[in-house]
Structure formats: C-alpha cells, structure tokens
A and B are shown apart, each in its own frame.
Chain A
Amino acid sequence: QSALTQPASVSGSPGQSITISCTGTSSDIGAYNYVSWYQQHPGKAPKLIVYGVDSRPSGVSHRLSGSKSGSAAFLTISGLQAEDEADYYCTSYTTTTAFVFGSGTRVTVL
C-alpha cells in the first residue's frame, strides 16, 4: 500500500487560508469516509484534528475543516495563525483492513 500523496510544503501569510490535498485511490479514500487528519509539532506526538472526513474533535479550532471529493481529501486552514505552523498528515482506512498515511505536509506561516 503506497502512501497517500500530499504536497511537501504549503505556506501562507497570517490571516490567509490554505488547503492541503491528500490524494489516494479507490481502495482507500475513494472507498470509505474514514479519512482523518493529524497535526504534529516538532518532537511531539501527532494530534487528531479532523475525523470522518469533516468532523472536528472537541477543542479543535473551527478554522480547521476537512472535505473529500472522489479519491482525494482536503484540509483547509482559515485565518492562518503562527500556531498552525506544523506538519500535517492525512490517513485513510483501506479495503485490506489496513490504514495508510499521507506523505505529510509542512505548513509554514510567513
């Protein structure tokens, strides 16, 4: 199972909106609505920020939102803030009862 494809880096100025893409196949993202997103700061464990494609856990900012179209998922960060600077990973359940992670995206706030 190959990793889901994400852009290596995305950047934006404070207050802007950015979108991170996560491209999979009909065997993972395209097969289920079990896409989740994780934020990871350096030296820390990943943190769940979106699950079930577009749901947010309690305590996660409303500026973060998820969506999906076909075999691709998207994470949008609105009103970019300095604290959003981190690595972001998507993941999906697959038809082989495994999970696959995305390659990861480094978000830089200019």
Chain B
Amino acid sequence: VQLVDSGGGLVQPGGSLKLSCAASGFTFSDSAIHWVRQASGKGLEWVGRIGGKPNNYATTYGASVKGRFTLSRDDSKNTASLQMNGLKVEDTAVYYCTRNYNFFFDSWGQGTLVTVST
C-alpha cells in the first residue's frame, strides 16, 4: 500500500490550491480516503473524508474547512483530490492523505506543505 501526496505550495490568503493523493497497492475504489493536516509544531487535525464505491463516495468535512474545501476522487486513475478555496493563514500546514480501513488509518502519504501567506 502506498500513498503519495502532492500539490502543496505557497498561496496568498483568499486563494485556491488543489492537492492530489496517488494510491497504489490496494483496491482504491473500495477504500475511503481521508485528509489530515498538521500546522508546524501543532497536533493532527482531521480535515475530511471521501468514501469509496461501497459508501457511494460520501463526503464529510471538519468544521474548520466545511464550505471551503471539496473532496473528490478519480477511481480510474487511483487518485483522490482536495480542492481548497478561500484559503486562510490558519490553513497553513502539512497535509497528509491517509487510507481509512475499518475506522483506523493504516497507510499515510508523506505529506505536502501548504503555506498561506502574503
């Protein structure tokens, strides 16, 4: 099982950025993909999840990003994405994608850094 995060970078407040998570080594369409972020020196924060085909690709978002972030996936490319709009300085963090297997996170990407600053 492998997950590779990408797409991070520097963006101004109010801007947009799209992160990607490329998966391999498992049946991607059956798996829920979650995103977790970590600001520098801070703890882990759950961002949201997109379910797999068995769950009709249902999405749930954390309160701090609801209405600004959108999760999607392309099972034909084994890729999940996190579209981030209306970015705020407090969204600055390393973002990890992770596979959820039976209510726990068994595999993680390496993380991609998002910096929101002028």
Contacts and interface: CB of A to CB of B under 8 A. Distances in A.
Give the size category of B's interface with A: 20 to 34
A86 interface: no
A46 to B, nearest CB: 6
Interface stretch (A9-17, A75-83, A95-103): A95-103
Interface stretch (B10-18, B21-29, B41-49, B82-90): B41-49
Interface of B: 34, 36, 43-46, 49, 60, 62-63, 96, 102-106, 108-111
Given A97-B60, A98-B60, A45 B103 contact: no
Interface of A: 1, 3, 32, 34, 36, 38, 40, 45-48, 51-52, 57, 89, 91, 93, 96-104
Given A36-B104, A93-B103, A46 B44 contact: yes
Contacts of B104: 34, 36, 48, 51-52, 91
